[in-house]
Amino acid sequence: MALLGCGVVGTEVVRLLREQAGDLAARVGVPLELAGIAVRRPERVREGVPRELLTTDAQGLVTRDDVDIVIEVIGGIEPARTLMLEAMKTGKSVVTANKALLAEDGATLFAAAREYGADLYYEASVAGAIPLLRPLRESLVGDHVHRVLGIVNGTTNYILDQMDTHGAGFNEALEEAQALGYAEADPTADVEGFDAAAKAAILAQLAFHTPVTAADVHREGITEVSAADVAGAKEMNSVVKLLAICERVPAAEGRNGRGVSVRVYPAMIPRSHPLASVREAYNAVFVEAESAGSLMFYGAGAGGAPTASAVLGDLVAVARNLRGGTPGPVEVTYASLPVLPMGETRTRYYIQLDVADRSGVLATVAEEFAKHDVSIQAVRQSGSGEDAQLVVVTHRAADAALSATVERLRELEDVREVASVMRVEADDV
């Protein structure tokens, strides 16, 4: 086999292959031998990595006759895509952790795997060591998945957890996450939701057997989450989490009938919800299926060792398939359900307003909700004197109608400030 990339994850893959060589050989039935490792800088010291295996000729490595499995941990779109396609064209199976590529152009990779009879496994692309994709791909393939809801980015979960439990500001929490190695020097992919959106696309495609790319996912990050948002959540006995949400949309809600909604954004969930207790940089995902009911997957969602564990799990599965002459499952997107625009997705809002404390203000605010066909679930008013605070929690409505309502509230004379706007993802908030 060949390894493409030898950074944090690749180095851990090499370590585990060497330390567990005997056990892996017993599990597969034949030894797993590393033929070469493609890197850009072979002169760089990599502890525990045999220098004689390093090469800069990735193209030559993936087409070698003595290689039958290619492990890709380079990341990014190119040259990873070209190398994986070349490997499959020459009859080799591929194990990858590349969420960005799978979310952008997974269809091309899946088509190549089908055409050339190669295995394509990618458990490590979502939620690190947590066994999540294989249950969706294999264990639940006979069921009807309704919803996938979860925390799939450890960096943002750590930041929001620090804001909630220690009262830290966003920038302070981000700096701490960087110091601990949870966040990159440039944290944009994490804090702006790009990483979670890529994972949501992969989850939705597997769960609903329909083509979904990262461009289909509505994405909002956590950079705008304020102390007022976190405090408002506490007052509602809730917590703010960045959630990846993939769900089937009933025909009555879809523009063209039944479809799917795939979105990533910060939202309130009650502290009684199991996801509320997911602390620091951990991940957790709920899967709701028709027959299996609710399933929860929890664990370390990132890091070299956890991701390498998932890579090796796929490697053993692929090696067993090759030895037995039986290909693994192929991706099918027979459903081809439409992805619902965010504006047509039904959501709930928590809205905190600073208003003038005089009669008629509540009626004026309620009238704006009614004009946009948004039903109010609960209202709480506090304060005295010239100013008051008004908290409104809505029932589910089209997200576009809720957004339009908020924009109209900002224009009202008696509304001093829209202090907090947060989506709500549980009906008991």
Nearest to 270 by CA among 350, 331, 340: 350
- 7's CB contacts (< 8 A; 6+ apart) are 73
- Separation of alpha carbons 244 and 128, rounded Å: 15
92 is catalytic: no
Both structure tokens of 331: 């991706």
Amino acid sitting at position 79: P
Three-state SS for 8-74 is: HHHHHHHHHHHHCHHHHHHHHCCCCCCCEEECCCCCCCCCCCCHHHEECCHHHHHCCCCCCEEEECC
The catalytic residue among 92, 99, 199, 241 is 199
Q: For residue 354, how many C-alpha atoms fall within 13 Å in the half-sphere facing its CB?
A: 9
- Separation of alpha carbons 239 and 271, rounded Å: 6
CA 86 → CA 65, 75, 114, distances in Å? 13, 16, 14
CB–CB of 226/255 below 8 Å?
Answer: no
Both structure tokens of 224: 């705008």
- Separation of alpha carbons 178 and 182, rounded Å: 6
Both structure tokens of 363: 């009626």
- Tell how strand 397-398 and strand 346-356 pair up: antiparallel
CB–CB of 169/227 below 8 Å?
Answer: yes
- Separation of alpha carbons 367 and 303, rounded Å: 50
- Separation of alpha carbons 88 and 67, rounded Å: 11
Buried b (16+ CB within 10 A) or exposed e, 349-366: bbbbbbbebeeebbeebe
Just list the catalytic residues. Answer: 199
